[in-house]
Amino acid sequence: MAGNGKLKLGLYWAASCGGCEIAVVELREKILDLDAAAEILFWPVAMDFKVKDVEAMPDGHIDVCLFNGAIRTSENEHMAHLLRRKSKVLVAFGSCAYEGCIPGLANLFDRQSVFAHAYLEAPTVDNPQGVLPQPVTQMPEGEIEIPRFYNTVKTLDQVTEVDYYVPGCPPQPHQIWAVVEAILGGNLPPRGSVVGAGEKTVCDECKRQRKEKRIRKFYRYHEIIPDPTECLLDQGIICAGPATRSGCGALCPQVNQPCRGCYGPPPNVMDQGAALLSAVASVVDADTEEEAARIVGEILDPVGTFYRFSLPASLLHRSRLRTKERSHAKNQH
């Protein structure tokens, strides 16, 4: 605590979209309560602090650091280590820091193919000289260094020790507030816990009518107008509810959108994608091998569907890196 009795708070973003920051601002008038109870020492997105301010702090100076964003570059990792050292409690805040989230889907590719698409192949790119980011560039004035871009997107706890996890893309404001209250009241659960979420699945919070599931065809979302009261999975729309932790209040199914899985795996589930695959495939209404293979074969991009938010935190972390393919890609450019 600071001399004024306030909680010393830090907020940081690594590889993220900024949605977690918006979610904090979405506390609305409660942000004033937060300001009354906490002194913010670092929050690059909203306030004018510099990294050197953090470097100048004694170790363990920040009481709680809410760290959002995945680890995509060496700079992200550097900040993760720095904030770990300066914070008593480090919280992986939001799906990216917790399990990799959408940026983590890049783990189906590697640095070279990501660069090739982003800087050379994308239809909107005009780069006739084929300039690619280099970690070190020689300029007349001297050497310029930019952070290294990793092959693999990592979660925060894959590079440093994490005390708590707040799931969600982004975390829901009422859940953020519950976490803030728990911190202020000293009511945090044991270290390593997931906080700001439920202990069941999204289906448990969903009000839709469920029947026995017998799926004969999977629909992509644009192919069907779903019934507003029946279970979306019953209707053949892949909904991640059965393999996703509760806590959001089943927001997406309420507005006729299937759950996409952003709250991560429920307690005791090791691999969200595998659990969802298992749940979805086992309710296919097929009594022969051929029919089953045909129906599940219609699911395009199983990894992207089942691991939309959790690929870096999954059992396999990423697709295999193959030296052969990478040298082939090099020859193309």
Does the protein bind another protein through residue 320 (CB under 8 A)?
Answer: yes
In terms of CB distance, is 53 or 145 closer to another protein? 145
Give, in degrees to the nearest 5, the angle at Cα 131 between 129 and 132.
Answer: 155
DSSP character string of 219-257: BPGGG----SSB-TTTTTB---GGGSBS-S-SHHHHTT-
Q: Which of 277, 309, 312, 313 binds another protein (CB under 8 A)?
A: 277
For residues 2 and 63, give the distance between their C-alpha atoms in angstroms, rounded to a whole number.
9
Does the protein bind another protein through residue 184 (CB under 8 A)?
Answer: no
Within 94-211, strands assigned E span 136-139, 142-145, 149-154, 164-166
Does the protein bind another protein through residue 310 (CB under 8 A)?
Answer: no
Segment contacting another protein by CB under 8 A, of 19-27, 54-62, 219-227, 319-327: 319-327
Residue pair 198/265 in contact by the 8 Å Cβ criterion:
no
Q: Which of 315, 324, 331, 332 binds another protein (CB under 8 A)?
A: 315
Length of the chain: 333
Q: Which of 143, 297, 324, 332 binds another protein (CB under 8 A)?
A: 297
In terms of CB distance, is 135 or 189 closer to another protein? 135
Does the protein bind another protein through residue 329 (CB under 8 A)?
Answer: no
Site for another protein in 83-142 (CB under 8 A): 108
Q: How far is the CB of 216 from another protein (least distance, A)?
A: 12
Does the protein bind another protein through residue 322 (CB under 8 A)?
Answer: yes
Spatial CA neighbour of 295 closest among 287, 304, 305, 307 = 287
| 275 three-class SS | helix
Q: Which residue has the tokens 């690594």?
A: 14
Does the protein bind another protein through residue 156 (CB under 8 A)?
Answer: no
For residues 100 and 262, give the distance between their C-alpha atoms in angstroms, rounded to a whole number.
10
Q: Which of 57, 132, 224, 303 binds another protein (CB under 8 A)?
A: 303
Q: How far is the CB of 51 from another protein (least distance, A)?
A: 23
Which residues of this chain interact with another protein, rule CB under 8 A? Answer: 108, 148, 150-152, 270-271, 273-275, 277-278, 280-282, 284, 286-289, 292-293, 296-297, 299, 301-303, 306, 314-323
